Structure 1
Amino acid sequence: MKPVLVVNAGSSSLKYQLIEPGSPPSAKGLIEEIGSAQARLRHDGEDRGTRPAEDHEAALAWMLEALGDTLDDLLAVGHRVVHGGTRFTEPTVVDRDVEAAIEQLSPLAPLHNPANLAGIRALTTLLPTTPQVAVFDTAFHATIPAVAATYALPRELAEAHGVRRYGFHGTSCQYVTGQVDAENLIICHLGNGASITAVENNRSVDTSMGLSPLEGLVMGTRSGDLDPAVPFHLMRAGLSAAEVEDILTKRSGLRGLAGASDMREVRERQDEPHARLALDVYAYRIRKYIGAYLAAVPGMQALVFTAGVGENDHRLRQEICAPLAHLGIALNADANEAAVGRSEPATIGTGPIEVLVVPTNEEAEIAAQAAAIVG
């Protein structure tokens, strides 16, 4: 099969992989500091230095230069797009109407959709004969029923402004679901961004993130769940709406509690009171959601940990699971520790509910979805 170029464009960074579906990537890289005179490229593990990249088009041109002849006979470009609203529930070949719709959805994901769209537009110009395919993080969660997706707001207001639960990390959840034999799962996607998804009969039925990626778990810099009155309280204290949004999305979570957003740094400082409390709050919030989803999906068969923190912090998995033995969730300590760094799924549980560590691969999922719709 021809390869797919997978692109994940952020506001100031660009990740990419060249993947023939079903095979490991043949090339991959990262460009950082887009918009500056000192953008840096790392390609296939090699530092390619710095050069000006004033926008995504310049960065993507640098990417194409680095990939060179490997782009011959490209099947498609698969783009990660964070928010597809209710319109986009499957991978979609991009045309002008799709571009316009992604732009219209930007108020629901202001930190992500504009950057994703910049990548699409740039590669439409740079690779005009190659199909561009948008793969949406929200798509996997389109199956969430109304009872779980609906907020108790005035109906007309919610409908007019698109206020409902959308959910994110869907591409990761879809990949993980395909790696597990069980059909009823709780998936803990724990990275700098973190969410939990309840899967019944291989379909998402509830997830912790909502209208935006801010709701739910404690994350690297996001607060997760809090009393909706907190923003009003802070604004009455003199902070602007923009300042409150910045606090909740960029200065809260682990950073707010422990002074560091990287779980590895917090873990290294776990003997300090603030870091210990941060770890305890982080694990407690996850346990609460696991308990809620055990109630939401009778017959839950497996609990899955994935993403950077979920795959690599065996102590966190133990902290989460140890108090849940009465619910049928228990770990084998040796298997739990041995699962760190593995590239294949690992079984780490000993109770009636299976516990697994499943390395996620969103790029492989995007490549497969793009190839399926184009091919």
Structure 2
Amino acid sequence: MIILTLNCRSQTIHYHLFDYPNPIPLTQGYVEGIGTHSTNCILNGSPLLLEDHHDALDYILKTLCHPEYGVLDSLSQIRGVGHRVVHGGETYHHSVKIDVEVLHTIRKVERMAPKYNIPSRQTIIAAMELLPDVDHVAIFDTAFHHTMPAKAYMYPLPYEWYEKYRVRRYGFHGSSHLYLARRAAAHLGKPVEQCNLITIHLDLGVSLCAIRNGQSIDTSTGMTPVEGTAQERRCGNIDPGIPGFIMDWEELSPQQIEEVLNEKSGLMGLTGGDCTTRQEVLIKAEQNDPRAKFAAQIEAYRLRKFIGEYLCVLGQCDAIVFSSGQGNIEADVRRRVLDGMDCFNILLDEKKNGQPRCIHSEIKISHPDSAIDLLVIPTDEARVFCEDTAQIVNGTFDPTRHISYTFDDL
């Protein structure tokens, strides 16, 4: 069964094409710079001006069927399209087939994740026009975290804000945390429902999740993706008084200060704009660049604080699971994060941690005497998108029961 998955941001579409249940994509790629004069089409590198996500998706579909470098004979081979949707609000607790009501909900909550929900909705509309005869499925980042108890998701703010506007913690990167938890359970040799874990999604966005008996009970991101630990461009947790203070002195609008907190803070802000990606920060830190090294220290310090917090929340923890979004350079990240945690008898095996195969392979990096397993598992969100879509297309997706995935076993 041919499944196309789409993951959109303001100027980008990432895509994977699967022949389910084969876990290896037939092809994958991305188009970036949508709506600008610097559109980058990775499959052939040809510079194009793609006005919007409709144009970009149309180009992707034509590329998939291109007589020279395409992988499909016809678009009719595609049976389903899985769309990553970052915010589903309180409405959706699992992936769903998209209809008018779903589109309405995506639009209703887009103010809480505009850089994701707006382009996702636009791409869904384009996909339903360009591929009208297939099922389209929304896979929500927030769905995995719907199991959080109220004491974890409610903020100590006027309760009427929750009643009127649903101001609360929602959490993000849910598909990644789901994948990391399932793979960790396989390595631990027991059902995910019997596992207590701390999963750490490390990429452009960064988040942690406390998982008890296979379910999310707390997570670092909040009502919007900007909360939590320091991320590539997002500030994470700060004194709530800072935005008002800076707005006053710099005469910034709410939209301008929000742009700073989302796009000009985090590791990028700490380096003063000298680095443009998290990977560049980590590389420069390794080269002893003072500002990059300082930013990397702050990232590790804040990650360590969340791990300590979640160890207290869980009580008993089977494993701490790191994704690997930036390759072997993250060996230093893990070392910095775990430094000094021997007080919890959490012990890193330095030799295993530095192995090059940590880039693409799943590996245990804890010392044999460690009380908690330490795992590196490269995440695969697109595989979650594919499998949820395929099961909904097949009519086998039943959220009232345990949902199985092909990656549940080693």
User: TM-score scaled by structure 2?
Assistant: 0.87
Match of residue 16 from structure 1: 15
> Counterpart in 1 of 2:235?
223
Aligned: 1:255 with 2:272? no
**2:42 aligned counterpart, secondary structure:** strand
Residue 90 of structure 1, aligned match among 69, 88, 94: 94
Encode CA deviations 1:11-34: one digit per residue, 9 max, x unaligned: 111111111233200011211221
Task: Tell me, yes or no, if structure 1 residue 242 matches structure 2 residue 261.
Answer: no
**Is 1:269 aligned to 2:269, yes or no?**
no
Report SS of the residue matched to 1:294: helix
Deviations 1:305-359 (Å, cap 9, x if unpaired)?
0041487510110111121111121111110011555433100001110000001
Is the Cα contact below 8 Å between 1:339 and 1:346 reproduced in 2?
no
The amino acid across from 1:12 in the alignment is Q
Task: Give the secondary structure class of the aligned counterpart of 1:112.
Answer: helix
Paired AA for residue 67 in structure 1: L
1:152-192 CA deviation, whole Å, 9 max, x = no partner? 11111222111000000001011111111251110111112
Answer yes or no: is 1:61 the counterpart of 2:61.
no
Cα distance per residue 1:190-226 (max 9 Å; x no partner): 1121011000101000000000011111111111101
Say whether residues 1:129 and 2:133 are aligned partners: yes
Indicate how the Cα distance of structure 1 residues 126 and 231 shifts in structure 2: closer, same or farther if over 3 A, else same: same
Q: What is the DSSP-based 3-state SS (H/G/I as helix, E as strand, rest coil) of the residue aligned with 2:30? A: strand
Secondary structure at the residue paired with 2:6? strand
Instruction: Give yes or no for contact 1:302–1:355 (8 Å, CA) kept in 2.
Output: yes
**Structure 2 residues without counterparts, runs of 5 or longer:** 66-71, 189-194, 395-410
Which one of 192, 197, 216 corresponds to residue 204 of structure 1? 216
2:165 to 142, 161, 167: 161
Provide the C-alpha distance between the structure 2 equivalents of 1:261 and 1:167, rounded to a whole number of angstroms: 25
Q: Determine whether 1:287 maps to 2:304.
A: yes
Q: Which runs of 5+ in 1 are unaligned?
A: none
Is the Cα–Cα contact under 8 Å of residues 282 and 329 in structure 2 kept in the other structure? Answer: no
Aligned 1:331-342 pairs, distance under 5 A: 331-338=348-355, 340-342=357-359
Q: Which residue of 1 aligns with 2:48?
A: 51
Distance 2:245 2:253 in 1: 11
Judged with a 3 Å threshold, the aligned counterparts in structure 2 of structure 1 residues 312 and 67 are, in CA distance, closer, same or farther, namely same
Aligned partner of residue 231 in structure 1, secondary structure: helix
Q: Residues 314 and 340 of structure 1 are in contact (CA less than 8 Å); yes or no, is this contact kept in structure 2?
A: no
- In 2, distance between residues paired with 1:147 and 1:312? 37
Deviations 1:268-322 (A, max 9, x none): 3322332222111110000000000000001111000004148751011011112
Counterpart secondary structure, 2:115? coil
- Deviation digits for residues 57-86 of structure 1, max 9, x if unmatched? 111111111111354432200000000011
Detail structure 1 runs of 4+ shifted over 6 Å in the superposition: none
Q: Tell me the distance in 1 between the aligned counterparts of 2:378 and 2:40.
A: 27
8 Å CA contact 2:358, 2:376 repeated in 1: no
Amino acid at match of 1:31: V
TM-aligned CA deviation for residue 91 of structure 1: 0.7
Contact between 1:79 and 1:366, CA under 8 Å: does it hold in 2?
Answer: yes
Partner residue of 1:371?
Answer: 390
Measured on the aligned residues, the alpha-carbon RMSD in Å equals: 1.6
Indicate whether 1:41 and 2:41 are aligned.
yes
Distance in 2 (alpha carbons) for counterparts of 1:177 and 1:156: 35
Q: How many pairs align?
A: 371
Cα deviations by residue, 1:86-132 (Å, 9 ceiling, x for unpaired): 10111110111111111111111111101001110001000101110
2:398 corresponds in structure 1 to none
- 1:359 is aligned to 378
The aligned runs of 1:134-213 (5 Å cut-off) are 134-181=138-185, 182=188, 183-213=195-225
Alpha-carbon separation, structure 2, partners of 1:265 and 1:198: 29
Q: Matched residue of 1:205: which SS? A: strand
Using a 3 Å threshold, how does the CA distance of structure 1 residues 199 and 342 change in structure 2: closer, same or farther?
Answer: same
Q: Is the contact made by 1:188 and 1:310 (CA closer than 8 Å) also made in structure 2?
A: no
More moved, 66-75 vs 26-35: 66-75
Contact 2:324 2:376 in 1 (8 A): no
State the partner residue of 2:32: 32
Aligned amino acid, residue 344 of structure 1 = S
